[in-house]
Amino acid sequence: MTMTGIAGFFNGEGSLVAGSKPKSVAQQLFEAQQRRAAHKAAVEKAAKAEQEKEKRAAARREDAAARQAQRAAEDMAKRQQAADAKQVQQVLREMEKRETLRQQAEAREALARERDAARGQKNQALQQLKDEAAERTQKLEHRVQAIGSVLTNRDRELEPLRADSSAALREGDEQSFADRVAEILAERSFLKHAHPEVTYSPDAHRLTVAVDLPRTEGIPTDKAFRYVAAQGEIVAIPRRASEIQRIYQDAVARLALCVADYAAAVTAPETVDVIAVNGHVRGTDPATGQPVRPCLVSLVVERSVFERVALDEPRLDPVSCLRHLNARLSDDAYGLEPVLPFIDPDQERDRRNETATGLDLATMDPYDFERLIRDLFLAMGFKAWKTPDSRDGGVDAVAVRDDIAIGGVCVIQAKRYSHTVPVEAVRALYGTMQEKKAYTGLVVTTSSFGPASYAFAAEVGRITLIDGPRLRTLVKEHLGMEVLISGRRTARS
């Protein structure tokens, strides 16, 4: 029996408790057995309750563990979801970044293409401007080359036309001959717009051709064109004034030689022995605004001399050639500085008409007399002639001649006198010689000189006196004209 059973036995739970009726052993055993059974049941119940409690605790633990696991799983799921969301966001951001970079790259490429296209268009426009400048420069060069090709590209093999011009002389007169030669020349290259005017002097066998020279506007004043990026336009590079003058003077010289070559080619040697060419240009006098036609080149050459000139020689300098042929060529042709023509066709024509009726030096107009004397001395070889602006109806001129006898500057004075020239006029000429620093002097008169004049001229040694008879001889010799000197005077000069 346990201590609990014994205590219960002695505490009235059993039959041994004082004042109670004793129980039998069987009863006591039964009761003890019952008590043991009850105790066992209680223990089992307690154990079962404990077990149930343990089960419930275990269940609670399991439930707690499950909930914890669930929470852990949920937390993990949340973390995974958050991680996935973060990864997705990262991926989206990467994708957005890549898309942004792609769009930026495309934008840069598009901009680069636009810039390349714009640069290409700009380069194309720039190249077009450069090409245009080069083309315009080339056109200028071609124009200058065309100007310099007058002799090279002149008409050749013109000798068959001599029969045509000679026939005009045989079947008509000198004017018919001149007109036919003018028609032939007008058909030649470079002369179609030159309006050739031809006169013929049968006594001197001289053909004179006057032509219009190209206008100065035909000379390119620009040397080249170039594109200037700073200005964004094509800029003309001006030609130097000296170069413009050289080109125009060269063109004038070439055309004069070309005309002389044509004149020699289309006329027979037995008909024309001397060729004269006068080149005029139509322009405007800047001082008056009036149209002018100055003579810029004048050439008188014998056919035999001219035929020795090699016009086809590439190294031939036309300007030097004219100088060699003693032609007069303006030093400032582009500035329309005139030269005095050797032969003036209009005056020559007038003189022939006057000679037919008997030209009288004593009754000539003073200015016609002046031109006659000028033409005489030019025909005698003087290369320059300048008459002072202040004139008294006679001729006071300064001329130049290169021959040894009377080389250098020469002062010429001509007076139409019906009486003997006074010695004072000769002495006055000597004073002018000293003033002009002239080496020689000439006094020309339609009358005569006295002994004092001849003595003074001999004393000086550099003065030549030409009286009326000598003047008539010189006019006939050099101008081919018969003149008279009567005693009548219409004006004193």
Q: Which residues contact 351 (CB under 8 A, 6 or more apart)?
A: 359, 372, 479, 481
pLDDT at 351: 53
335: confidence class by pLDDT, cuts 50, 70, 90 = confident
Mean pLDDT of 427-454: 87
Beta strands in 288-347 (DSSP E): 291-292, 295-302, 328-329
Please check the confidence at residue 6 and state whether its pLDDT lies above 60.
Answer: no
Distance CA 131, CA 113 (A): 25
- Burial category of 297 from C-beta neighbours within 10 Å (exposed 0-12, middle 13-18, buried 19 and up): buried
Q: Which residues contact 284 (CB under 8 A, 6 or more apart)?
A: 290, 291, 292
Mean pLDDT of 41-51: 78
Please check the confidence at residue 280 and state whether its pLDDT lies above 90.
Answer: yes
What is the tens place of the pLDDT at every residue in 357-414? 457 887 777 767 777 888 888 888 776 666 654 444 344 677 777 654 555 788 888 8
Please check the confidence at residue 8 and state whether its pLDDT lies above 70.
Answer: no
CA separation, residue 27 to residues 21, 115, 161, 218 (Å):
12, 123, 190, 168
348: confidence class by pLDDT, cuts 50, 70, 90 = low
Strand partners, 227: 234
Distance CA 177, CA 123 (A): 64
490: confidence class by pLDDT, cuts 50, 70, 90 = very low
**What are the two backbone dihedrals, phi and then psi, of residue 84, each rounded to the nearest 5 degrees?**
-65, -45
Mean pLDDT of all residues in the chain? 82
Higher pLDDT, 472 or 353: 472
What is the tens place of the pLDDT at every residue in 189-239? 889 888 999 999 887 788 999 999 988 888 888 989 998 888 888 899 998
Burial 193-203 (b: 16+ CB within 10 A, else e): ebebbbbbbee
Structure tokens at 460: 């000086």
Distance CA 430, CA 6 (A): 197
Reported residue count of the chain is: 493
Please check the confidence at residue 314 and state whether its pLDDT lies above 50.
Answer: yes
Please check the confidence at residue 486 and state whether its pLDDT lies above 50.
Answer: yes
pLDDT at 168: 87
Distance CA 444, CA 416 (A): 8
What is the tens place of the pLDDT at every residue in 455-477? 898 888 889 999 888 888 888 88
Using alpha carbons only, give the angle 106, 108, 112 rounded to the nearest 5 degrees: 115
Distance CA 359, CA 351 (A): 8
pLDDT at 396: 60
Most confident of 89-103, 174-188, 285-299, 350-364: 174-188
Q: Which residues contact 428 (CB under 8 A, 6 or more apart)?
A: 413
296: confidence class by pLDDT, cuts 50, 70, 90 = very high
Which secondary structure element, helix H or strand E, spans residue 269, and what is its range? none
Most confident of 21-30, 59-68, 120-129: 120-129
Distance CA 257, CA 251 (A): 10
Higher pLDDT, 367 or 253: 253
